[in-house]
Each structure stands twice: as structure tokens, then as C-alpha cells.
Amino acid sequence: MRTEKSILLKPFLLLIITNLLFSMDALGADRITGKSFATRSEVIARHGMAATSQPLATGVALDILKAGGNAVDAAIAANACLCLMEPTGCGIGGDLFAIIWGAETQKLYGLNASGRSPQSLTLAELRKRDLEYIPPLGPLPVTVPGCVDGWYALHERFGNLPLKEVLAPAIRYARRGFPVSELIAYNWELGLQARQEYPGFPETFSIDGRAPRKGEMWHNSQLANTLEKIAQDGRDAFYRGEIARTIAEFMQHHGGFLSYEDLAAHESEWVEPVSTTYRGFRVWELPPNGQGIAALQILNILEGFDITGMGFGSIDYIHRFVEAKKLAFEDRAKFYADPAYNTIPVEALISKPYAENRRKLIDPKRAGRAYEAGNPALHEGDTIYLTVADKDRNMVSLIQSNYWGMGSGMCPDGLGFSLQNRGMLFNLKEGEFNAYAPSKRPFHTIIPAFITRDDKPWVSFGVMGGATQPQAHVQIVVNLVDFGMNLQEVGDAPRILHRGSSQPTGEVMTDGGMVYLETGFDYETVRELVKMGHEVGWNVGSFGGYQAILYDADNDVYYGASESRKDGQAAGY
């Protein structure tokens, strides 16, 4: 029964709701955050910016910048913290790649800090074990960890603060503890379940046999001791000292092949970044043994289409993106490998004429079931990505990983970390580019990226997540350039993921693979893609993890953005 009071209130409430909706339209959702899928505004600051996948690591990066460190110092400090705080994606038992913009020289530098296979393990030995693939867990997929040498290579060339000071926050957190965040706690439980039976793993990464829960304090005094030795005695503590001997003895005891000699022989490699142009912007990646040039190949193919006219989320755009990805990944399966063992036609693969020829293979109305790799003139992983920029306008794009979640499950006695399982990405077919060989770097999935505009720095970015990475790199660039999204929107936009292409490990695409569309695409689009011959599936949690910093030269400020699907944060000062 309506009362007089309710009748009087009705027009008043209607007025409030009308005004609220008007203000949201004029000032709110559409104007403040832009696209309907945007989760928050960009972060804007002048003197420095950091974006990582864990807020405490972002805070450490800013602390280092405020203490007089530069972007490289801050990136190393954040990475060291993530080795403790996010062992589900990275650790000092893994590898590292980085692209650095040097403000003084006004140029880009590339670092490949990936490790090589054991000298004493041969393809014949692996084949003798009747293996089709190198298993993901245990001693066989372990390769030399390149992370620590990568820190020292970066610091020696660009660092400002003493490395003891740079590593100090990670050591403090390891001793005093930190509260585990939600998504990391979830992945930690999954990682522990899969590795319970591997030597040293439950002792290193569990509390009474279980993973730490959200909000629970986690301490790792063993890792603190290891980092202290590295800070005190330098890279040789890890590769030639007590740590190296502990790793070698542990591996030998548990049937592994990684030796002291393998660790002592390791060194990182400075490489020239490679690039292509995309509608006037220059996109930079690192050359193989990584997969970065796949992003460049896809962009070259897409540049021949009117992507803006097709519109974001359209059937035409999704179809062409997926087919371009299939074409590039066939080349990835054939050619991408350690360049020390193969002549890889990088310049031809990322050339515009080659892309034009490959583009002609795309049927605008039908999905391709299989493609051959081109003739250019001749699984799922977990990772962390971070980017930092400083007051002098140096910028760092850095990615680091154990490869498959928490790595091989092999945790050397008392060191506080797991060794990576990157070796599982080798091919066991003799004669292939990525075929296993001693002292060889495997095909690598982790890739940092950078965009320049008019030969000046513009965007440092990356997207973690195995084979997702080059696909997501392309979508970030297309969202920025073709669809005019801001730095946060390009990461929040629903993503496209194709799986099932031929792989460097030997699997071959025969059925067209599977297209996964993140929530946010119209169901009508899904139906039309199925009619075109695409198999469409649903996937949760494998669409990557994005961080980015954009330098706005006109206003002399940085914009920062962080992945809304992860626990991370962008922050500046």
C-alpha cells in the first residue's frame, strides 16, 4: 500500500537517479575511464614510474628511484622482490631478457640472459630414454639459470646504486616476511600440488605441507641467505662459488646433468633489438632464441588490412588476426631457435615483402586448417613482466621466468629457489632448428617489447604468459594505434588467444587450432566465427599479464598501466 510519503519521494528519487545518470554520461564512466571495459584510469607522474605484477615490488622500485637509483637499479630491485613474492612465475633459477632505452645515448639496448643446456646431456641420451618430448618436471628440463648474470650485466653497464643496496629490500622482505596476495596464493597452491614429490620443493615452498594462503605472511630465509651471498660476492658467488657447487652436487645426486662447469661457463649476451614499422610507429623486440619477432610478423601482415575500419571486436578483425597469427607461428615452429646453432633469416622474416606474400594466403571468408612455414630467402608458461622509468628518461622493459609456473620442481639444498624447466621447449627431432644439443639455448617464450615514435621513446610494455605473449603484444599495439585506446584500456580490452599452431617442440597444426575469446565479445561474433570454420572455446586465466609505461614528450610526464587480471600495480612519483 502506497503512503503519501512514498508518493512524495518518488519524483525526488527519480530526479536524483536522472541527475546521476546524466553526470555519469557527462563526466563519469565514458569520460573518466573511456571504454566500457576499462577498470581504472592510467597513473600519471613526472619523475618516475614503475609497473609490476605485485604492488610491494612496485613500491620497492619507487623507493630505489627516490633513493637516487635509476630505472635499471629499480628494475633489478623489483625483479629480486618478485623472485620472493611471485615464485609462481619467476625466480633466480630462471632466465631474463630486457630492452633498455638509454637517455644519454638515445638508443635501445637488448640483453639476452638465457641459459644453455648441460654440456654432458646429448640428444642421443634423450632419445635412448624413448622420449618424444623432454618432460616438464624433474632434472631433465633444467638449463643454466641466467637471471643473476642478467642482473649483473644490466648493473655493470647501466646501474647507479651499489648492488648491495639494490638487493637489500628483497633480502629484508625474505627475512621479515610479506603477506601473499590473492592470485599468487591461488597459483602457488596449484604449483605445489604438481611438485610435492620433487626433491626440496615442499621444504622450500610450503607451510606444514601446504601453500601459503591469501594474506598469510611468507618468509624465505634460505633465499635471503642466497641473495646476501650474491650481493656480497657478486655473480661469481652464483656461478663459480658455493651456490654453484651446491646446485651441481644436488643435480648429480638426483640424476641431473647440469654441472659446475655449465654454471661457470655461462654469460649473458648483449644483442641488437630488431623492429618493424606499424603505421608510422616502430615496434621493437629481441631476436631469437626468443619468439618476439612473431609479433613483428603478425603486425606486418595486419598492416595490409583496414583494421580501424573493421572495428574492435569485429568478425573481420578477429578472423584476420587469428589467421595472421597462424602464419607467423608456422615460421616460429620452424625457424626460431638459438642463432649460435642456426642461420636464422630474421631480416627476411620481418620484412614487408615477405609479409605481403604471406598475407595473400589468408582467405577472408574461411579459417585455415593448416599452413606451411614460409620460405624467407634461404605450452603454457608463467612469467613476470615489469617496466620502470626514471627522472632522466631511461626506460627498462624486463621479463623474467621459471618457464612453467614454479619451474622444474628441483630445489637445490638450502638455497630457497626452484630451477627452471626451460629445456622442455627443445625439439627431440634431429636436424630441426630447435633440436636439442649440448650447451644450446632452447627456444624461449619470454619477450620484452618497446615502441618508439619519431626515433624517441614512447611505450615500454610486455605481456606475460607463454605463447600468449606475441599475440598479446600485437593486440596492445593494434589497440593503441588502430583503435585509439589509452594505455590502461589497451590492457583491459578483452583479448583473443589462438592455440594449436605448430610448435618448436615438434607438434604440428592440422585442424586449425582453437580460438579463445575473453568475456566481452558478442555471442553473435562467436557464431559467425564458427560459421567461418573457426573452432571457438572458452578459457579462463590464460590471457596474459600486462604492464606498460608511456612517455608523453609533449607534457614531459609518464603514464603507467597495470594488468587488471593480476595482482599488480602501476605507481609513480
User: Is the CB of residue 96 less than 8 Å from the CB of residue 78?
Assistant: no
Q: Count CA atoms closer than 13 A to 271's CA, side-chain side.
A: 24
> What are residue 191's phi and psi, to 5 degrees?
-65, -40
pLDDT of the residue at 170: 98
The three cell numbers of residue 94 are 630462471
- Location of C-alpha cell 594505455: 487
pLDDT of the residue at 467: 87
456 burial via Cβ count (<10 Å: 0-12, 13-18, 19+): exposed
The three cell numbers of residue 559 are 603514464
Query: Which amino acid is present at 221?
Result: S
The three cell numbers of residue 58 are 612496485
Question: Which residues are CB-contacts of 493 (< 8 A; sequence separation ≥ 6)?
Answer: 35, 37, 312, 475, 479, 483, 485, 520
DSSP 422: G
The three cell numbers of residue 196 are 610435492
Given its phi and psi angles, is residue 313 left (phi above 0), alpha (psi -120 to 50 degrees) or beta? Answer: left
DSSP 9: H
SS3 content of the chain, % helix, strand, coil (to 5): 40, 20, 45
Chain segment 430-479, per-residue pLDDT in tens: 999 999 999 999 999 999 999 999 999 999 999 988 888 999 999 999 99
Name residues of the chain where pLDDT drops below 70: 1-33, 375, 377-382, 539-541
Pairing of strands 281-285, 43-45: unpaired
Compute the distance between CA of residue 406 and CA of residue 523 in angstroms, rounded to an integer.
36
Q: Which runs of E-coded beta strand occur in 413-513?
A: 449-453, 456-464, 496-499
Compute the distance between CA of residue 291 and CA of residue 448 in angstroms, rounded to an integer.
10
Compute the distance between CA of residue 329 and CA of residue 126 in angstroms, rounded to an integer.
26
> What are residue 390's phi and psi, to 5 degrees?
-120, 180
If we measure between CA atoms, which residue out of 487, 504, 468, 485 comes closest to residue 564? 487
Number of other CB atoms surrounding residue 12 within 10 Å? 9
The three cell numbers of residue 446 are 619470454
Compute the distance between CA of residue 546 and CA of residue 301 in angstroms, rounded to an integer.
23
Q: In what order do the strands lie in the sheet with 514-517?
A: 496-499, 514-517, 536-537
**Dihedral over alpha carbons 80, 84, 88, 90 (to 10 degrees):** 20
Number of other CB atoms surrounding residue 213 within 10 Å? 15
pLDDT of the residue at 382: 64
Compute the distance between CA of residue 488 and CA of residue 19 in angstroms, rounded to an integer.
28
In order of 33, 198, 278, 357, 563, the CA distances from 302 in angstroms are 28, 45, 9, 12, 25
The three cell numbers of residue 56 are 610491494
Given its phi and psi angles, is residue 250 left (phi above 0), alpha (psi -120 to 50 degrees) or beta? Answer: alpha
Q: Count CA atoms closer than 13 A to 261's CA, side-chain side.
A: 8
Number of other CB atoms surrounding residue 54 within 10 Å? 26
User: Is the CB of residue 445 less than 8 Å from the CB of residue 425?
Assistant: yes
Identify the structural domains of the chain with CATH numbers, from first to last: 48-270+387-425 (no CATH), 296-381+466-572 (1.10.246.130)
User: Is the CB of residue 247 less than 8 Å from the CB of residue 415?
Assistant: yes
Pairing of strands 514-517, 536-537: parallel
pLDDT of the residue at 1: 36
Compute the distance between CA of residue 349 and CA of residue 356 in angstroms, rounded to an integer.
11
Compute the distance between CA of residue 107 and CA of residue 450 in angstroms, rounded to an integer.
12
Compute the distance between CA of residue 186 and CA of residue 83 in angstroms, rounded to an integer.
17
DSSP 265: T
In order of 143, 293, 409, 421, 521, the CA distances from 404 in angstroms are 13, 21, 10, 7, 29
pTM for this predicted structure: 0.92
pLDDT of the residue at 331: 94
Residues marked active site are found at 383
Number of other CB atoms surrounding residue 30 within 10 Å? 13
If we measure between CA atoms, which residue out of 175, 248, 264, 164 comes closest to residue 218? 175
pLDDT of the residue at 30: 41
Compute the distance between CA of residue 459 and CA of residue 451 in angstroms, rounded to an integer.
5
User: Is the CB of residue 250 less than 8 Å from the CB of residue 242?
Assistant: no
User: Is the CB of residue 400 less than 8 Å from the CB of residue 383?
Assistant: yes
- Location of C-alpha cell 612455414: 373
